[in-house]
A = this chain, B = another copy of it.
Amino acid sequence: MVDRNSVLKFIKKNDFTTTQQLCAEFGISESTARRVLDQLDSLGQITRLHGGAMPVSVTGQATEFQMRNSLFKQQKIAIAKMAAGIIEDYSTVILLGGTTVCELCPFIENRTITVITNSILVLNGLKYSRNVRLILLGGLYNYQEEEVGGLLANKGLSTVRADHLFMGASGFDERYGFSTTNAAVDLYMNCIETSVTTSVLADSSKYMKGGAAVTASLEQVQYLFTDSGLDLRARKAMEEKNISVMIAD
């Protein structure tokens, strides 16, 4: 019997371990190596690839963001497209963090509007748009979220007003409202204060999940843009709080 813990340790030491390496290291046949790999994979302790395996989270923080990005990408694009529809020409909109909100960029790049954001991804998405006046909030750069936040960002907001605020969410439910893993809650609050309407963009997988911090209560949000996978009761609950639930398909 091969000690699976030893194998796990060995794999975790490296970025990538080939089946061959395991054969050599533990003196086992390819079949056995593959079996062990299968077991560890089904336990979620490694990620199996053609040719071998890698530790589950070798991708690290930076790419973890990109993985989230590829998840539910189609829904996110559809949601963003619909949300862009409520933006009037010559209006001012705030785009707050989140991968879903970033997807708005392609749909507004030719509009004549002013965009205020804390997200470097939004900046990159709109940097070549001549019609868009792009205002970046300042603050400490958060390399995980690729956005800025903190004192400077809040300070900048004090002289700002906006017609629309679009924000993402790590999770939402009818009890707590909308939440995020991001700690910059005061930024969200200030933006809600300063905006005429507040919209949340969140695909249906976010329902009943929760982030660490509440960013907005149900009462503070006018629009929820989501996809058709949203639970019907959730939709009812949202609409009872006067949130317009917009379903992308």
Does residue A3 face the partner (Cβ distance < 8 Å to B)? yes
A232 at the binding interface (Cβ < 8 Å): no
- Segment among A75-83, A147-155, A165-173, A206-214 that sits at the interface with chain B: A147-155
B1 lies within 8 A of A50 (CB): yes
Interface residues as binary, A50-92 with B (CB distance below 8 Å gives 1, 0 otherwise): 1110101111101100100110000000000000000000000
For residue A229, CB closer than 8 A to chain B, the reply is: no
Interface size on A, residues (CB 8 A): 54
Q: Which residue of B lies closest to A63 (CB)?
A: B45
Does the CB pair B138–A134 fall under 8 Å?
no
Q: Is the CB of B124 within 8 A of A135?
A: no
Task: Judge if A121 is at the interface, Cβ distance under 8 Å.
Answer: yes
- B127 engages A60 (CB within 8 Å): yes
Question: Are B138 and A135 in contact, with the CB atoms below 8 A?
Answer: yes
* A9 to B, closest residue via Cβ: B15
**Distance, CA A50 to CA B2, complexed state (A):** 10
B-facing residues in A126-142 (Cβ within 8 Å):
127-128, 130, 133-141
Query: How many chain copies?
Result: 2
Contact (Cβ within 8 A) B151 A5: no
Q: What would be 22 A-B contacts, judged by CB atoms less than 8 Å apart?
A: A1-B18, A1-B49, A1-B51, A3-B54, A5-B54, A6-B15, A6-B16, A8-B63, A43-B70, A45-B66, A56-B66, A57-B124, A60-B124, A120-B123, A127-B146, A133-B140, A134-B143, A135-B150, A138-B139, A138-B156, A155-B156, A155-B159
User: Is A27's beta carbon under 8 Å from chain B?
Assistant: no
Complex contact B124–A59 (CB within 8 A): yes
State which residues 110-131 of A face B: CB under 8 Å.
120-121, 123-124, 127-128, 130
- Could you tell me if A159 and B151 are in contact, using CB atoms closer than 8 angstroms? yes
User: Which of A54, A70, A138, A139 has the largest number of chain B CB atoms within 10 A?
Assistant: A138
Q: Which one of B59, B62, B135 contacts A141 once the chains associate, using CB atoms below 8 Å?
A: B135
A127 touches B155 (CB 8 A): no
The contact string, 1 if C-beta is below 8 Å from chain B, for chain A 21-42, is 0000000000000000000000
What residue of chain B has the Cβ atom nearest to residue A118's Cβ?
B138
Contact among B18, B121, B137 for A138, CB-based, below 8 A: B137
CB distance from A232 to the nearest CB of B (A): 33
**Contact residues in B for A128 (Cβ distance below 8 Å):** 60, 62, 143
